Amino acid sequence: MLPTPKKFKIVAAAAEGHNNLTAFDNALLAAGIGNVNLVRISSILPPAAQYDPDLVLPPGSLVPTAYGAIVCDEPGKQIAAAVGVGFSADTFGVIMEYSGYCSKEEAEAKIVQMLEEAFASRGMELVKTEIRSVEHTVKSIGCALAAVNLWY
């Protein structure tokens, strides 16, 4: 059985690259999570997980991560990514992520809408949200990324 993560951090960043993959990699580096291996997860924040904005992730480690990212190679296009954590009063939280051709504010609004729906679907009260987002105007090949990293 895998251990349950006890900490998390929320990041968002954008970057350019010479191709799609390096744009994504550069956005990871700009967000401070470029030297770990992301293991993509779905949407549940463990009940006891504590927010740690200074969380240091060991290089090369496998890091459970919920993320939204968009890569675009159309100069002048605006892209955005957002991620949000919804908290209940006494149980687990829910993570939602979004990326698209929109503004930062539009991406954040989608996150709020999705968190409200997720809590309503579970019959839980949403008591607090934390959202991080970024927007980027593509120069050549750009990436916008927002992520929640979980850790032990």
CATH code for position 102: 3.50.20.10
Per-residue pLDDT at 60:
98
What band does 16 get if pLDDT is binned at 50, 70 and 90?
very high
pLDDT digits (tens, 9 = 90+) for 132-143: 999 999 999 999
Q: Is there a domain that residue 1 lies in?
A: no
Q: Is the pLDDT of residue 53 over 90?
A: yes
Residues acting as catalytic residues: 37, 42-43, 97
User: In angstroms, rounded to a whole number, what is the distance separating the alpha carbons of residues 7 and 151?
Assistant: 5
Q: Is residue 2 part of a domain?
A: no
Strand partners, 15: 143
The token duo for 130 is 């934390």
Give the chain's mean pLDDT.
Answer: 97
pTM above 0.85, yes or no: yes
**Measured distance CA(56)–CA(123) in Å, rounded:** 35
| Domain that includes residue 29, residue range | 7-151
Q: Is residue 141 part of a domain?
A: yes
Number of domains in the chain: 1
Say which residues have a Cβ less than 8 Å from residue 56's Cβ, sequence separation at least 6.
none
Q: Is residue 63 one of the residues assigned to a domain?
A: yes
Evaluate if residue 14 carries a pLDDT over 90: yes
pLDDT of residue 47: 95
